[in-house]
Structure 1
């Protein structure tokens, strides 16, 4: 079903508006980007521009030293009037640590001129081998941060019950992983992600594991509200080109989802009418 907040004018597809709404913010792009693993700052900046993203996520632990606010830092190279900063708690192993880092993230948003930005991508990951998020720690941190009026976007294993619990707590999104962080394996948990999407009344963002544009297409085709991508772009041979490709993939998948695909048939059906042809 076409979303109620979508203004569709099929006379000119370029006029379609289909904004992403998270909390009290409206975004024109459904592609979120991470900022790690790029070869250099120039490539990172160019890739971000090619992606046409509206949201950039940054690990706050990397920005704790004052040197991170020097002119050659990526944060100082971007236009924060057109891009929303999403601080994340990557590297936190406990709920308490994540809460502290989220507070620092809000202060960094203020430094970037986004005084009222209370967004946080919540990651609690004690598992250093497989980098799987801790569901109990995530719930604990989310409950506290929501009580302090943060807009919480939790990164989770694709567990439909956990996703619903976080939504009921008041999380602005749920962000199930497609496959392990940085693996590029694509959507290895497709069935669970579909269940989460079907049961959610908040945006579902597929985060982690996307390796190329077709993975982004598939995530959007099954009804994900957005995807978050880092390694697939940063570690491509030509990151700027991959950023463009994934941007197009997000659009293609979203339009296909809204168009509502044809039903699969068990046998072939002619595409041309057979009526009126001589025997």
Structure 2
């Protein structure tokens, strides 16, 4: 079970979308796992309160069955959101989102549209966001730290913005802090820093420059002991949140 002395991350949600509340400032991707027991361990250790799932339109990627996960993890205790992390076009992102709504009733989407080099595609993201917002989805799009794109998506009605710190799975951390700060300061919606976070220091630093939350995936999934790394990242998020003044209750 999660560490009682670290739950919840904060007394108030940093994001509220309808009936869903996001209190933990650490989001954890689980697409890379093949063992339900490891998913259980990392979710418990991380203290994450959001479960992220997707639909593979191509049906070419191995993934865990939700029925298998449900035997290891109490999925009912999480706020569920969908992701379009496999999408490489606006059409794919829209179709994936609609499949997630039809099959699982999810209308909060972690919107990713990436180009052939696995970088966020701003133009395609805006196109997909427009259509999905018109369909009544709540969106958390993934973008490069570009204030102009951030303002456009905020103006369209996106609920939060996810800013790329460095290329996904690169472990390079926050390569351009000035750009990230500028983007965070340019908008009024919550911001999540993710992509390329490769150490606990990177996680803490994201909060210190103003992020509301972080999302990690590869650094935990590929660690020798994912559960241990998830717990370390959780402590780093708490440390960064206290340093930034976002958390004011003792751990």
Q: Is the structural similarity TM-score above 0.5?
A: yes
What is the TM-score when the length of structure 1 is the normalising length? Answer: 0.78
Structure 2: which 5+ residue stretches go unaligned? 1-7
CA distance in 1 between counterparts of 2:97 and 2:123 reads 17
In 2, are the aligned partners of 1:27 and 1:54 still within 8 Å (CA)?
yes
Aligned counterpart, 2:11? 17
Pairing 1:189–2:176 present: yes
Superposition deviation, residue 206 in structure 1: 0.7
Superposition deviation, residue 109 in structure 1: 2.8
CA distance in 2 between counterparts of 1:257 and 1:70 reads 36
Superposition deviation, residue 156 in structure 1: 0.8
In 2, are the aligned partners of 1:85 and 1:109 still within 8 Å (CA)?
no
In the TM superposition, what whole-angstrom CA distance separates every residue of 1:244-263 from its partner, at most 9, and x where no partner exists? Answer: 11111111111111179xxx
In 1, are the aligned partners of 2:206 and 2:214 still within 8 Å (CA)?
yes
Aligned counterpart, 1:272? none
CA distance in 1 between counterparts of 2:175 and 2:9 reads 34
In 1, are the aligned partners of 2:139 and 2:159 still within 8 Å (CA)?
yes
RMSD: 2.4
Aligned counterpart, 1:204? 191
Aligned counterpart, 1:96? 91
Aligned counterpart, 2:232? 245
Aligned counterpart, 1:255? 242
Structure 1: which 5+ residue stretches go unaligned? 1-13, 111-116, 261-279
SS of 1:255 mapped into structure 2:
helix
Superposition deviation, residue 231 in structure 1: 0.5
In 2, are the aligned partners of 1:60 and 1:90 still within 8 Å (CA)?
no
What is the TM-score when the length of structure 2 is the normalising length? Answer: 0.86
CA distance in 1 between counterparts of 2:219 and 2:167 reads 13
Q: How many equivalent residue pairs? A: 237
Structure 1 157/241 Cα, relative in aligned 2: closer, same or farther at 3 Å? same
Superposition deviation, residue 174 in structure 1: 0.7
In the TM superposition, what whole-angstrom CA distance separates every residue of 1:197-252 from its partner, at most 9, and x where no partner exists? Answer: 11211110012111121111000111101111110111111111110111111111
